[in-house]
């Protein structure tokens, strides 16, 4: 589905950047270079809007266990069209996806960004102990640099990227550095429009960011943060859904690999075996299965081609 780039939006004030550059000149060469790049690239960034109210429909098939989330997002998209507004900002609720490892939370966020035809930034919050990863660090510090939010908005093409904070319940902090503190401002469009990264020290408009937080549970997530999110419990795919996902991914791989001679359908025995594979491991498993089939001189996959490997330890983030 094509996406119309309907409008642009300034994400910072060029005059403010020029003034900051003049005040800083010579104090921090790295910051000078950053300001100069901001001036060179300009302040305008695209705000993407899906070209149709049906733009999210493919996700209902690709991520069938996310139907509750998609139902709400589809309504927000219709609201955006009804009011001739961008799909994002104050027009949507930022979302928190709850579910065990491997249910597809991170994949869903990436797929949503692709449907919106915008950037996707993944920030793992696992054991993150300092907020500067999000907010940047003061230019007076040794090795200072901007945070990932400002970097994405300044160096990217879009004002409305999807930013994924993965395993947000595992973020840790101290009285000096709370990695979640900046989110209270960033999740409110009224305050996010004047977000100030500590390294850049100029206002950045982060109000159009589409935030997706993921967690295994709400335990450890502050209540004020939960109150700012639409919270969804994401179940693991059913066996039927898992089979449909595997068949769809297999069909896509045949096209990618130019394997037109291969049987377009996977057999029931193969699909039953693939149903036990975590969605995040499914692509590699199918690639391996196709490789075994080719090596055996066959143009179809059999159950013996499907390698089922035990994953040591606890599953990692993602899909």
Determine the Cα–Cα distance for residues 319 and 104; give it in Å rounded to an integer. Answer: 4
Domain boundary among 233, 252, 283: 233
**Residue 312 lies inside a defined structural domain of this protein:** no
Q: What is the CATH number of the domain that holds 90?
A: 3.40.50.300
Q: Is the dihedral of CA 148, 152, 154, 160 positive or negative?
A: negative
Over 80: is that where the pLDDT of 62 sits? yes
**Which residue segment(s) compose the domain that 57 sits in?**
3-233
Q: How many residues does the chain have?
A: 319
When pLDDT is cut at 50, 70 and 90, the band that residue 214 belongs to is: very high
Question: Per-residue pLDDT tens for 29-41?
Answer: 889 999 999 999 9
Within this chain, do residues 215 and 252 fall inside the same structural domain, yes or no?
Answer: no
Domain boundary among 208, 233, 258: 233
**Residue 315 lies inside a defined structural domain of this protein:** no
Largest Cα separation within the chain, whole Å, is: 69
Domain boundary among 233, 256, 272: 233
- Number of domains within the chain: 2
Question: Per-residue pLDDT tens for 7-26?
Answer: 899 999 999 999 999 999 88
The answer to whether 70 and 92 have CB atoms below 8 angstroms apart is: no
Q: Of 177, 227, 185, which is closest to residue 205 (Cα–Cα)?
A: 185
Strands 44-50 and 3-10: antiparallel
Mean pLDDT along residues 94-108: 91
Within this chain, do residues 187 and 253 fall inside the same structural domain, yes or no?
Answer: no
When pLDDT is cut at 50, 70 and 90, the band that residue 50 belongs to is: confident
Percent pLDDT > 90 in the chain is 58
Within this chain, do residues 79 and 106 fall inside the same structural domain, yes or no?
Answer: yes
The answer to whether 152 and 121 have CB atoms below 8 angstroms apart is: yes
């Amino acid at each position: 589905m094509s996406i119309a780039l309907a409008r642009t939006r300034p994400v910072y004030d060029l005059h403010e950047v020029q003034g900051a550059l003049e005040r800083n000149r010579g104090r921090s060469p790295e910051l000078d270079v950053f300001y100069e790049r901001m001036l060179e690239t300009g302040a305008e960034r695209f705000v993407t809007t899906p070209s149709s109210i049906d733009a999210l429909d493919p996700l209902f098939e690709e991520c069938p266990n996310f139907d509750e989330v998609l139902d709400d997002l589809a309504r927000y998209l219709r609201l955006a069209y009804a009011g001739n507004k961008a799909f994002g900002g104050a027009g949507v609720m930022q979302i928190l996806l709850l579910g065990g490892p491997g249910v597809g939370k991170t994949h869903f966020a990436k797929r949503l960004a692709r449907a919106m035809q915008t950037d996707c930034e993944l920030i793992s919050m696992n054991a993150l102990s300092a907020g500067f990863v999000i907010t940047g660090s003061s230019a007076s510090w040794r090795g200072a640099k901007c945070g990932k939010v400002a970097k994405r908005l300044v160096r990217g093409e879009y004002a409305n990227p999807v930013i994924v904070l993965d395993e947000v319940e595992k973020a840790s902090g101290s009285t000096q550095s709370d990695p979640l503190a900046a989110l209270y401002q960033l999740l409110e469009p009224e305050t996010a429009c004047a977000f100030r990264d500590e390294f850049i020290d100029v206002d950045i408009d982060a109000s159009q960011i589409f935030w997706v937080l993921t967690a295994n549970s709400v335990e450890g997530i502050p209540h004020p943060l939960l109150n700012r999110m639409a919270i969804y419990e994401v179940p693991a795919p059913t066996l039927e859904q898992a089979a449909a996902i595997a068949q769809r991914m297999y069909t896509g791989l045949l096209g990618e690999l130019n394997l037109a001679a291969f049987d377009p359908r996977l057999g029931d025995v193969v699909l039953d075996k693939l149903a036990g594979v975590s969605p995040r491991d499914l692509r590699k498993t199918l690639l391996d299965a196709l490789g075994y089939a080719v090596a055996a001189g066959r143009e179809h996959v059999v159950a013996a081609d499907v390698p089922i490997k035990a994953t040591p330890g606890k599953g990692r983030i993602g899909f």
